[in-house]
Amino acid sequence: MQTKLTIDKLLQNDDFIQWNVSGKTSSFQDWNKTIDEASSVDKKIYEASIKILDRLLSIDIEGHIEIKSEEFIDSSYIKLLEKFTSKKQATKVISISRIMRYAAAILLPIAISSLGYFYFNQQPQDLFANHLLVTEYNPSEVQIRTADGKYYSLPNNQQKKWITDNGLFVSVSETALKINKADDFEVNLKDKYTVLVPRKNQYQVELEDGTNIEMNSASQLAFGISNSKIRKVSLDGEAYFDVAKDKTRPFVVHTQRMDIQVLGTEFNVSTYASPYYYSTTLVEGSIQVTTAKGDKKLIEPSEQARILVDDYKIEVVDVDVQEVVAWTSGRTVFRNETLDVLASKLSRWYDIEFIVGDELKDIKFNGTLTKEKKLLHVLQMLKYTEGVDYKIGKDTIKLYKD
């Protein structure tokens, strides 16, 4: 059975690269004949691959040799990949080192030697070294922490993109982190990170396998990048997972009180401190929930597994999934919710502590709030619907019976 032709396969083919950079004269395979006999669909793939190589290898070289920085080469290469790769599939990163090896040997043997040194001899660093600003820990902003305890700030009002020396394409902005892995990706033991999202914020992470994670406020997500048989992340807080399907590599979300194992599905996990339980809610597919004490349950769509705080037992209940995941669209839905629990949600939304009087903790509320609502609007709603008055302090809001 003939394998499907793709751009990334051609850009990993040594003979195809050599044929291009030698002026289409030197190769083992007769590529001209191969292309002539190809189908119309495959011809377009060949043409796109040739354009990528031609443009990459002739950047700003017009009658003279001028070597640009590795940052310039990287950014040009990324733009080419984004233009020619199908948007219907997750973008794959093709290692630039293979292409530059032939360029160095055939086109620019002397001039790009410094660039070659950069790609072949640079010591492995973490993903964000030399690209993001190292800073002190700041509990009020989204940050990325490395395995050795460094903290990185996110770029302000811009998106940064680069290719790492071990074959990863990284894109970072104030709202999202995206990582793609090349076929010849090499494992770097330093590639272990934690994304920290403070109260009042949300953040999106796309892992190298294509899994999308939307993190809620006051949450931390720890992950590594490897070729291991199990994909594993750790979560403290709340996140919505859309896991990329891979039957050969299960995906595991580890929390303090439970592990959730899936092959490819969508679900919500919350480890926020609740008076009674932690939870995971399944949107589609199936997941297996396992507690620290070994209790296991298989969860079906529209079911919520609750890990009871007192005894670690799993309780499975039917829920309205749209209510549970409403936070991903900037809403919170509450049904028969006590003021104590509602106040903890508002605390994460507005980044301020609520002090709830004992006489109010059992008052129950029903309704929907959007994140665009000002805090004062919410406080007024509590006052005029249930007679809950408030006193605003420097860092706290006290709720008491009017």
Residue 396 is encoded by which pair of tokens? Answer: 């706290």
Decide which of 274, 294, 322 is a domain's last residue: 322
Are 14 and 117 in a shared domain? yes
Full residue range of the structural domain in which residue 153 is found: 124-227
pLDDT reported for residue 333: 86
Are 167 and 78 in a shared domain? no
Decide which of 94, 121, 148 is a domain's last residue: 121
Residue 232 is encoded by which pair of tokens? Answer: 């594993």
Residue with tokens 């003939």: 2
**How many Å apart are CA 157 and CA 145, to the nearest integer?**
20
**How many Å apart are CA 73 and CA 68, to the nearest integer?**
7
Q: Is residue 2 domain-resident? A: no
Are 14 and 111 in a shared domain? yes
| CB crowding 72-88: b at 16 or more within 10 Å, else e | ebbbebbebbeebbeee
**How many Å apart are CA 349 and CA 337, to the nearest integer?**
16
Contact 19, 28 (CB under 8 A): no
**How many Å apart are CA 22 and CA 18, to the nearest integer?**
6
User: For residue 379, what is the domain's CATH number?
Assistant: 3.55.50.30
Are 59 and 134 in a shared domain? no
Q: For the whole model, what pTM was predicted?
A: 0.71
What are the residue ranges in the chain where pLDDT is below 70? Answer: 1-3, 8, 55-125, 183-184, 273-275
DSSP secondary structure, 137-191, as one string? --TTS-EEEETTS-EEEPPTTS-EEEE-TTSEEEEE-SSEEEEEE-TT----TT-
Decide which of 175, 202, 227 is a domain's last residue: 227
Contact 277, 291 (CB under 8 A): no
Are 159 and 200 in a shared domain? yes
CA distances from 165 to 53, 55, 121, 151 (A): 19, 21, 9, 21
State the CB neighbour count (10 A cutoff) for residue 134.
12
Q: Is residue 105 domain-resident? A: yes
Are 98 and 16 in a shared domain? yes
Q: Is residue 355 domain-resident? A: yes
CA distances from 66 to 53, 119, 233 (A): 18, 18, 44
Are 242 and 306 in a shared domain? yes
Are 312 and 350 in a shared domain? no
Name residue 59's amino acid.
Answer: I
User: For residue 290, what is the domain's CATH number?
Assistant: 2.60.120.1440
Q: Is residue 249 domain-resident? A: yes
Are 82 and 107 in a shared domain? yes
Contact 328, 240 (CB under 8 A): yes
pLDDT reported for residue 153: 95
**How many Å apart are CA 307 and CA 292, to the nearest integer?**
10
Are 54 and 134 in a shared domain? no
Are 210 and 192 in a shared domain? yes
pLDDT reported for residue 161: 86
State the CB neighbour count (10 A cutoff) for residue 90.
17
State the CB neighbour count (10 A cutoff) for residue 226.
17
Contact 112, 67 (CB under 8 A): yes
Q: Is residue 1 domain-resident? A: no
Name residue 186's amino acid.
Answer: E
Sheet holding 303-308: strands in order across?
160-163, 168-172, 176-181, 203-206, 212-215, 238-242, 266-270, 277-284, 303-308, 314-318
DSSP secondary structure, 231-279, as one string? EEEEEESEEEEEPPP-TTS-EEEE-SSEEEEESS-EEEEE----SSEEE
* Residue from 375, 371, 283 nearest 331 by CA: 371
Give the chain's domain count. Answer: 4
pLDDT reported for residue 51: 77
pLDDT reported for residue 313: 86
**How many Å apart are CA 14 and CA 9, to the nearest integer?**
10
pLDDT reported for residue 88: 39
The pairing of beta strand 303-308 with beta strand 134-135: unpaired
pLDDT reported for residue 175: 94
285 secondary structure, DSSP code: S
Q: Render pLDDT for 249-260 as a digit per residue (tens, 0 to 9).
A: 999 999 988 999
- 3-state SS of the chain: helix, strand, coil percent to 5? 25, 30, 40
| Partners of residue 222 on adjacent β-strands | 194, 234
Q: Is residue 139 domain-resident? A: yes
Q: Is residue 342 domain-resident? A: yes
Are 14 and 88 in a shared domain? yes
pLDDT reported for residue 137: 95
